[in-house]
Every structure is written in C-alpha cells, then in structure tokens.
Structure 1
Amino acid sequence: MSCPLQRNADGFPVLHAVPEDVQADRERLYQEGPLTRVELPGGVIAWATTHHEVSRLTLNDPRLVKSVDHWADFQNGVVTEEWPLMATIPTDGTNMLALDGEAHRRLRSLTAGPFSARRVERLRPRIERLTARYLDTLEDKAHQVQDLKSAFTFKVPMGVIGELYGIEEGEYAHLGRMYAKLFSGTTEPGEHIEIYGDLFQFFTDVVARKKANLDECDDFTADLLRTGLESEDGLSDMEVIVTLLTVVAAGHETTVNLLTNVVRALLDHPEQHERLKKGELGWEQVIEETLRFDPPNNVMMFRFATEDVEVAGQTIKKGEALLTHYGAATRDRAEFGDDVHVFDPARTKGRHISFGYGPHICPGAPLSRLEANITLPMLFERFPDLRLAVADEELQVVAALSTNSLKEFPVILRPKD
C-alpha cells in the first residue's frame, strides 16, 4: 500500500525526485490544492498549483515571470547555481525560456516557423521513413525481450530532431545521454553545470559547421542562422546555440515520454486497445487522453512573482517561486469529470494543458503530436501482439522531478506461438 505524502516540519508536502507511486502522488497533491506550499530537494520552499483552472490562470499571468532575477531565494544565495534543479531553470538572457514580454516574443517569433503546424506536416515523409527504418531494426529480436524505450521510442524523436537540426546520426546516443544526466534528480551538486557546458560546446560545434557551409544546408539550424544575416533583429550565434540546446531539452524528452506512455497505457488497458483496433477509437483520442492521464512532464519549473499575487485565496509574495504540477492538475474533477482515474480515450469533458498554456506553451507540440500519430500506428501494425515483458508495477521511473519517464520499457514484440 502506498504511503501518504511526506511532510516537513511546517506541514508542507515534500516532493522527491523519485516518487514512490506516481499516480497516487498526483491524487494526493490534487487533494492539497488548488494551491499549496511544497518542499523541494535541498529544503527549498515553493508554491505549486495542483488544480487545472488555477494552473491555467497562473501560466497566463504576466506578474509571474521566468527570470530568476525575481527569485528572492536565488538572489539572496539561499539557492545557488549548484542546486540540482537549477538545470531546469534557465538563467541565460539568450534563452527564450528565461524571458518574458517583448524579449520573449522576439525569440519566439524568430524560431516559431519550423514548428508551425504547416511546416511540421512537411516532415511527415521523413518521420514515416525513420519509423519504418527503426522498426526494421527491431525485427531480429522480435521474439526476445527488448527495451522499447532505448531501441525505438528514444530513437525516432532523436532521429527527427537530428534531421531537423542537421546532426549526424552517430551523435544521437551521446546527445541523449547528456540530456538524461542534465535532468536527472540524482546528479551531484554542481554536476549539471559541467553537463550544460558540454551541451553548449556540442551545439557550438554544430553551429560552426553549419556556418562554414551555410549555402548548402537546408535545416532548422541553417534557418536560424540565416535570420541573423537577413535582419539586424535576427538571431545572434549565441541565441542560435542556446535555442538549439533548449528545443532538444524541451521537445525531445517530452516526445520520448509521450510515445512510451501511450504504449504503456494501451498495454495496461487492453479493453481500450481492443476498441482502437475495432475502429471505435482513433489514435488522436488515445494520444490526447494519454497526455491527460499520464503526462510526459509532471512539473513545470519555475516562475517567480514580481509583486504580491492573490491566487485561490492565498498570496504568492513578491520574490517567491511557483511551479505548475501538471500531474496533479490532470486529476481535477471540475475539468475532467469524476472518473479522472479512468483511462478513457472517448472522454469528451475537459481539455488538458500538458503542453503548457499561455505565452510559454510548448512550441514543439505540433511536432510531438505528429510523431505520435505516425509512429504509434506503424508500431502496432508491425507488432500487433506487442506485450510487456514484466508486470507494469515492476517498471521503474527515472529520477527526475520534472519529467515523467521510465528507465526502461521491456517488451516482447512478437510472442512465440
């Protein structure tokens, strides 16, 4: 039986990097809501929204900003650069995730083109080709236990990003390992600074290679670099480097988790899988319900109050930090109905915000959805008898407070007769 939420001396729920029971913790935090104080690793105190409507409203509140210049604990030295969760809080003024207002709109507009729904749709043939290729690599061991995450749900999104950026395939695994370390909740104090430096150097080298052959390049990286040549208000090389680093951080892991979570949900709910196979449900319904039921990110890190903000009858004081707990908000009865614990792709009540809301809504959401709508039907068409190789309760989550990811996803793709 799951234990209740641990509380600190002040009675605040304690959020650990590795929750004991992800689904149960979502419900417990929802019951704390709609707004609660929480203790984060290292004894850091922040506010958390845990209901849908208050999350949506605060994500769109201009008084709650992304810049750590407004975080009293950081400015006063209570939180330092070595705090492990600082990996999720950009401090660089060239990073759109650290900016608000006009500065944010400028970077967003300059980088939005490649991720528009129309531009993303042009990637469909590439995604289909990559998916078929990686499915082929699974065939030789189809009767054996394989880790579907490392062998497939990681590779397809990384392959898409690689083609989008113009990165060599031989670099994918190294890049993935660096990001896994960056967002791990078990890194040593200050280790994320070194990892970030390695990632920064990686993308610095990518930009240098592109600039040397810009006329021959037709990819996202080249598009970003050309903005600096076409307009005085275009992106600097530093902004391009940080944008590349940020888009992978924000988009790739989200898509990996989405693909994995959809497969897991269908295997754990065979009755819904049967409805899908019979045509009673569509893939889009299954994907959107998974985004609600088991979102790829549990927590949205962080925003800071520029003045006292009244929220749900409480006051977030100037300089305090606020996070959005997507996982808890998915349990909001007022938005989704009383059956929030049920995985129901035919659900018509409510609209999730698992890709965010407001000015900082995820720009890669159209690409992530497209990948899921292409990749998952192809996977189940090739391997209709795909099943878990272990009991669902034996699956282990990654040690990361913000992301909702599995360490491994052992499956048998084609059981022996």
Structure 2
Amino acid sequence: MPLSPEAPRAAGEVLPYPFEQPPGLAQCPMYAHLRETDPVAEVRMPSGDHAYLVTRYEDVRTVLSDARFSRAATLEPGAPRLAAAPQNFKSLLNMDPPEHTRVRKLVSREFTARRVNALRPRIQEHTDALLDAMAAAGPPVDLVPTFAFQVPVTVICELLGVPFADREDFAAWSRVFLATTSVTKEEMLGAQLALRDYLASLVAAKRERPGDDLLSALVSIHDEDDDRLREEELIFLGISLLVAGHETTVNQIANSVVALLTHPEQLERLRKDPDLVAGAVEELLRLHPPGNEALLRITLEDVELGGVTIPKGSAVLPSLSSANRDRRQFDDPDVIDFDRPVNAHFAFSHGTHYCLGSGLARAELQIAVASLIRRFPTLRLAVPEEELRRPEGMLVHGIASLPVAW
C-alpha cells in the first residue's frame, strides 16, 4: 500500500524504502514531508536491513563529505546493504582515503578536461547522426532506446575503447548491476561476474594491442607506474567507468526532455536562446537527477546528525534529490529557473566521491538537449505525461519509455 505523507506516524516508525514513485517526473511527496518533520528517518531497505534516510541539504552535505561516513565499510562482512546481493569487489566507488585518493589521482591524470573537450566534436557528430536516423524513421519514436541510450553509450565506448558491438550485452549487465528489487540475488551476482569477466578480457586485449583510449591508458598505469593500479582495481575501475559512464546520462537525457516538454514556456525560451543550455542542464540536474540517493554509507562511530544520534555501524542513505529541493538552500525549489544564480546541487554527489565524469556528462547533456530541440522544434510527447513510468527497483532514476512525435 502506498505511503501517505499526511498519515500520522508513530515515534520511531521504520518506513519501507524505496517509496512508491508517482508517474512522470513528480517526486514522491514523502521526501518533502520528511524534510520538514523527520529529516533523519529510519527506513527498511529491500535487503531487510535498516538505514537512516537523510533528506535536508546541509545534513546530506555532511554525510557526503565527513570521513565518519564510510564507503569502504560497506564491504565489511555483515555490513548493512541496500539490495539483496552484495557487490563483492572493491572499486573507486567504495574506497575511503587515503586509498581512494591514490587511485583517483591516477585516473584523474587521464580523465581530463582536455580529453572531454576533444570529444565534444565527436559527441556532436554522433548526436547529429542519431537525429538524422530519427528524422528518416519518422514519428512516433521511443526516445529512450533511439537517442537517450545511444548518445552516452557511443561516447563511453569511444572514450574507454570498448567495442560498440558489445553495447547491448554490457547495457543488460549494467541494468542488473544497478538493480535493487527488480531482479533476483542470483541475477545480480551473475551480472557482476559477467561484467568482471568482460572487463578482464578487454584489459588483456588492451595489453596486447593498446590504443588511444582511456582503458589502454589505465593498463599502462597498471604496468608502468610506481604507484600503479592493482589488477583487481584496474578491472573494477573499468566496470565503474563503463556502468556509470552511460547509465546515469541515459536517464538524465530522458528526464531533461520530459521536463522541457511538460514546461512549454521554458522550452520555448531555450529554443529562442540556445546559450541558456548550460544553465538549463544544471537546473534540470537539480530538479530531476538520475539518482534519488547517493551510495550507502556506514558510520564509523556514533554521529549526531539532524538532531538524531546515529549509532556506529549504521547504514546512512543521503537523498540527493531531496536535498536538491530543500527550501533552506534553494529559493522556490520546485520551480525550473534557468537563471538560478547559485545552483550547488548534488546531482553529481559532493566531496570525495564527486563524480569523476561530471564534465563529460555535462558535455553530453548540453549537446543532446540543444541539438534535439533545434532539430525538432515541434517535438512533443506522444502519450499523456501520466502514462510515463520510471523503471522499478533500480538505483538510477529515469523514464522507462519516452514516446515522442513532431
């Protein structure tokens, strides 16, 4: 039964999580309710473990930046977890400093602004080719598989040096990899193993025949650098870049298009002034980020947060989407404002685990959104907004199917 935010709650009541999502892009009203009444609320995750859901901006920033909230501790035996199956490997996403600092420094040497800027013309070429194919096919089309999926997948394949022909395979494994309740524990573990084997084979191929791509550069760091990446780190870093490098952007392209098509005044403003696209992308990231919550943390000691004492060893879920709508941080937080003067949103997280690929994602989003509305000035939803559905049981937060016409 859906939770009603207006219903009275007993003191200390544990809420089932995740909350039921409304149709379209609407945020579940429970988040707004918790921000005002219970900003550090205890919830029961799909695994059955309990966690503290953090919903206010300042508290979320604390969780994301304070070393007492650990990602590495999520790998400890018996640690609380979100999904039924644990992620049985160490990657950049679940390291703490100083180990995280060492690995991220090595990767950052290759994942540079120069490399992203050099990719912009190629991103535009790929985008234009996809729009040509859409125009030739004619409306209606489902924008998710034909455009939102293809843009970032093409780019991440080129950046990492992953064969484009393998996109359907690794995309399927990625969706299972990011699931919470939509698949079985066995399927989750199987997807982890499949991705590990796939990346191990790619690493071996790059070692034999290196190319001008990021994965080849990472192999070189592993083989030659004094600080070097360990083989396991190299493989699972590749998994992290491959999965995060397309799944989040696929969902954010779809979210952004729906938001614009359901706010015609803002869409028209962007059509008339394409230079607004950077601000528009930031505002749509704030309002409709591709993930509701950041990655789970574990407290390393008792922590006082939002008037609640969180015991040592507890799971903490910082809600990015809720923090991004906190009226204490943002004026008129539910309103789209391309000219918002300060927009320190958490769509790319914050602190140690701020998204390494945020520059690439911004470039893809700006090019995809601007090119789409320029090419199809009469673009519109081909179904009522209330028929749009989000994928269920997933860490990412997008639109399952997006029929459009023009």
The alignment's TM-score, normalised by the length of structure 1, stands at 0.90
Partners of 1:399 and 1:365 in 2: how far apart? 25
For the pair 1:139 / 2:135, whether they are aligned, the reply is yes
Cα deviation for residue 401 of structure 1 reads 4.7
2:271·2:374 contact (CA, 8 Å) conserved in 1? Answer: no
2:3·2:20 contact (CA, 8 Å) conserved in 1? Answer: no
Instruction: Name the counterpart of 1:23.
Output: 27
For the pair 1:297 / 2:291, whether they are aligned, the reply is yes
Instruction: Identify if the C-alpha distance between structure 1 residues 349 and 85 changes in structure 2 by more than 3 Å, giving closer, same or farther.
Output: farther
**Secondary structure at the counterpart of residue 47 of structure 1:** strand
Matches within 5 A, 1:396-415: 396-412=389-405, 414=406
Aligned partner of 1:222 among 207, 216, 223: 216
Deviates more, 1:30-39 or 1:376-385: 30-39
Instruction: Identify if the C-alpha distance between structure 1 residues 35 and 294 changes in structure 2 by more than 3 Å, giving closer, same or farther.
Output: same
Instruction: Identify if the C-alpha distance between structure 1 residues 20 and 39 changes in structure 2 by more than 3 Å, giving closer, same or farther.
Output: farther
Aligned partner of 1:103 among 83, 90, 99: 99
Letter in 2 for 1:23: Q
For the pair 1:257 / 2:251, whether they are aligned, the reply is yes
Instruction: Name the counterpart of 1:4.
Output: 4
Partners of 2:20 and 2:279 in 1: how far apart? 29
Partners of 1:280 and 1:203 in 2: how far apart? 39
Partners of 2:61 and 2:71 in 1: how far apart? 16
Aligned partner of 1:317 among 270, 286, 311: 311
Matches within 5 A, 1:78-89: 84=83, 86=85
Instruction: Name the counterpart of 2:89.
Output: 92
Deviates more, 1:192-201 or 1:252-261: 252-261
Matches within 5 A, 1:13-92: 13-16=15-18, 19-20=21-22, 22-25=26-29, 26-68=31-73, 75=78, 84=83, 86=85, 90-92=87-89
Partners of 2:395 and 2:93 in 1: how far apart? 15
1:200·1:241 contact (CA, 8 Å) conserved in 2? Answer: yes
Instruction: Name the counterpart of 1:195.
Output: 191
Partners of 1:393 and 1:355 in 2: how far apart? 28
Cα deviation for residue 402 of structure 1 reads 2.5
2:85·2:185 contact (CA, 8 Å) conserved in 1? Answer: no
Instruction: Identify if the C-alpha distance between structure 1 residues 383 and 86 changes in structure 2 by more than 3 Å, giving closer, same or farther.
Output: same
Partners of 1:394 and 1:159 in 2: how far apart? 29
Instruction: Name the counterpart of 2:125.
Output: 129
Aligned partner of 1:274 among 265, 268, 277: 268
Matches within 5 A, 1:372-391: 372-391=365-384
Instruction: Name the counterpart of 1:151.
Output: 146
Partners of 2:262 and 2:71 in 1: how far apart? 37
Deviates more, 1:29-38 or 1:46-55: 29-38
1:228·1:235 contact (CA, 8 Å) conserved in 2? Answer: yes
Cα deviation for residue 164 of structure 1 reads 0.8
1:59·1:358 contact (CA, 8 Å) conserved in 2? Answer: yes
The alignment's TM-score, normalised by the length of structure 2, stands at 0.92
Cα deviation for residue 238 of structure 1 reads 2.3
1:91·1:98 contact (CA, 8 Å) conserved in 2? Answer: no
For each residue in 1:192-244, what CA deviation from the matched residue of structure 2 results, as whole angstroms up to 9, or x when unmatched? 00111011111111111111112xx1100100011123223212332221111
2:74·2:297 contact (CA, 8 Å) conserved in 1? Answer: no
Instruction: Identify if the C-alpha distance between structure 1 residues 69 and 254 changes in structure 2 by more than 3 Å, giving closer, same or farther.
Output: closer
Cα deviation for residue 27 of structure 1 reads 2.3
Deviates more, 1:99-108 or 1:179-188: 179-188
Q: Which runs of 5+ in 2 are unaligned?
A: none
1:70·1:304 contact (CA, 8 Å) conserved in 2? Answer: no
Q: CA RMSD in A?
A: 2.2
Cα deviation for residue 99 of structure 1 reads 0.9
**Number of matched pairs:** 399
Cα deviation for residue 3 of structure 1 reads 5.3
Cα deviation for residue 189 of structure 1 reads 2.6
Aligned partner of 1:176 among 171, 177, 180: 171
Instruction: Name the counterpart of 1:163.
Output: 158
1:32·1:50 contact (CA, 8 Å) conserved in 2? Answer: no
Instruction: Name the counterpart of 1:205.
Output: 201
Q: Which runs of 5+ in 1 are unaligned?
A: none
Cα deviation for residue 86 of structure 1 reads 4.2
Deviates more, 1:50-59 or 1:398-407: 398-407
